[in-house]
């Protein structure tokens, strides 16, 4: 009886995995998802060309230029403060969306919702804490970013206008934090906001009107809560995102990060 002898050795498990990975990475679906320069692409190598592609072909990374000045990547120069402010904003958006699922902005429901969130919702307390501490951290990091930019003289020509936008962003950050302060509807929130809005009431000429519009009435109540809720979760984030877009765009257009001292 003839015996068929196959000289080629049987493929090992490793060979099969390599072949499968190659087939998947070579497929049309895969290459259509991952643009050139992606580390998930077939045959990715660490070349200057691919390093450029990584930045150019990613919707997230292309905020950056392909190359940056060497002194700019020193953490000791920027302390990452601008980037961290932006990152904290994203963190606050994510945690804030989570909180919105469990919160109703009315004077009868708000406090109970927060209380239930802390006691009966999985990770509710943790996410609320992260939102709260992240907010304080963001106010701090935006302020420190401003101080850093000032001390480096980075607001000078041609970056004057970006500094102006930056100050607007600082004010918007404070407003976002302040509007969020009222939402738990506890004694701390109510009276902190009372003190704050009383101060605004002293604006000359139209102080009373300003206060009325902000509070939705003569005194803080359910209308104020709804108003500040909409400001906090919709209007101010919308405005701040527009200003952030201009801010980041101007960083690139004004010649990137400022020069060394």
Partner 1 sequence: MTEIPEHLLKRAQAAREKAAADVPSEVPAAAAASEPAADPRIPAHLLERSKAAKSKASGESSGAVALQEKVASVVAAAPTGGGLPVGAGPGGHTQRLLTVIKSGSIQDVKATPVDKVHTWPHLLAAEFVAALACTAFTFFFSIFVNAPLLQLANINRTPNPSKAPWYFLGLQELLTMFHPMVAGVTIPGVGMIILIFAPFIDKNPSNKPEDRKFAISIMTVHIMFWAVLVIIGSFFRGPGFNFVLPWRDGLFFDL
Work out how close the CB of 7 gets to partner 1 at its nearest, in angstroms, rounded to a whole number: 36
Work out how close the CB of 6 gets to partner 1 at its nearest, in angstroms, rounded to a whole number: 39
**Which one, 54 or 214, has the nearer CB to partner 1?**
54
Interactions with partner 1, residue window 138-167 (CB under 8 A) = 139, 143, 147, 150-157, 159-160, 163-164, 167
Using the rule CB under 8 A, give the single segment among 3-11, 15-23, 230-238, 253-261 that binds partner 1: 253-261
Contacts with partner 1 by CB under 8 A: the residue count is: 86
- Tokens encoding 220: 């803080």
What is the C-alpha to C-alpha distance for residues 150 and 71, in angstroms, rounded to an integer?
18
In contact, 77 and 260? CB cutoff 8 Å = yes
Distance of CA 64 to the CA centre of its chain: 16
Helix (H, G, I), strand (E, B) or coil at 152: coil
**Which one, 3 or 218, has the nearer CB to partner 1?**
218
First to last CA, the chain: 87
In contact, 65 and 55? CB cutoff 8 Å = yes
In contact, 250 and 161? CB cutoff 8 Å = yes
Work out how close the CB of 66 gets to partner 1 at its nearest, in angstroms, rounded to a whole number: 6
Interactions with partner 1, residue window 88-127 (CB under 8 A) = 88, 91, 107, 111, 114-115, 118, 125-126
Work out how close the CB of 123 gets to partner 1 at its nearest, in angstroms, rounded to a whole number: 10
């Amino acid at each position: 009886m003839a015996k068929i002898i196959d000289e080629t050795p049987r493929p090992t498990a490793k060979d099969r995995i390599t072949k499968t990975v190659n087939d998947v990475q070579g497929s049309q679906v895969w290459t259509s998802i991952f643009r050139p320069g992606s580390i998930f692409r077939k045959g990715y190598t660490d070349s200057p060309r691919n390093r450029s592609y990584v930045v150019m072909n990613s919707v997230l990374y292309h905020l950056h230029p392909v190359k940056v000045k060497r002194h700019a990547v020193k953490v000791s120069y920027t302390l990452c403060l601008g980037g961290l402010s932006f990152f904290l904003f994203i963190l606050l958006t994510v945690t804030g969306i989570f909180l919105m699922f469990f919160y109703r902005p009315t004077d009868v429901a708000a406090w109970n919702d927060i209380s239930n969130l802390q006691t009966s919702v999985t990770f509710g307390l943790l996410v609320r804490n992260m939102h709260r501490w992240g907010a304080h951290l963001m106010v701090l990091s935006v302020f420190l970013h401003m101080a850093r930019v000032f001390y480096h003289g980075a607001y000078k020509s041609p970056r004057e206008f970006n500094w102006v936008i930056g100050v607007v962003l600082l004010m918007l950050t404070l407003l976002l934090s302040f509007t969020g302060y009222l939402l738990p509807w506890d004694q701390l929130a109510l009276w902190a906001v009372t003190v704050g809005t009383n101060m605004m009431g002293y604006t000359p000429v139209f102080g009373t009107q300003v206060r009325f519009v902000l509070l939705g009435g003569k005194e803080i109540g359910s209308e104020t809560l709804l108003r500040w809720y909409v400001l906090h979760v919709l209007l101010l984030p919308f405005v701040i995102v527009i200003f952030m877009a201009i801010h980041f765009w101007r960083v690139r257009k004004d010649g990137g990060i400022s020069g060394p001292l």
